[in-house]
Amino acid sequence: MSDIATRVTQGVQALAADHLRREMWQAQHRAGLLTDAQTYEALADAIESDLKGRAVDGDMPWSATMRARKRVKPLRKAAKAMREAAASIGGTVTAYETTDPATVAQARQDKALRKAERKGAAAAALNTATARAVERLAPAQSDEESAGAPKVLGDYFKNQRGA
């Protein structure tokens, strides 16, 4: 039990340490898990070949092979689980690094800044569109102009073409 507690404590300390120590911890544990997976695979191969050679009276030609595969299936599953665990070690380290409080705070600040910029750009576009609409719909400023006379050059050309 103390071995598990010691390993967990060392893992947490390695994650909290600098980048180099985290990489060393990651490589060490990945190698250990992959070694365990290879051990389980080798054990499964040895047991399977032994069981294939043990024929029982009344067996069909394939019965020993099927029985051997059935018996080593848990070992193969354990080896697969070890390989998956080795692959997930990198994700654990990355998740730990990306949840660093300083990194999270900076990401939130950057997101808020981008949001404020988008809102400002949208407000500016709305103000411009509103100003143009008011310009077009404004009452005439002199007696020669009619109300809603084109004030924008594009509107003038639209009216000239009969659009």
> Would you give the DSSP letter of residue 149?
-
Three-state DSSP class for residue 100: coil
pLDDT under 70: residue ranges of the chain: 1-2, 4-5, 7-8, 11-13, 16-17, 137-163
Contacts for 135 with CB less than 8 Å, ≥ 6 apart:
151, 152
Owner of token pair 């809102």: 119
* pLDDT value at residue 38: 94
Write the single-letter amino acid at 81: A
Report yes or no: 63 and 53 within 8 Å, Cβ to Cβ: no
Write the single-letter amino acid at 137: L
- pLDDT tens across 115-133, in order? 999 999 999 998 888 877 7
* pLDDT value at residue 54: 75
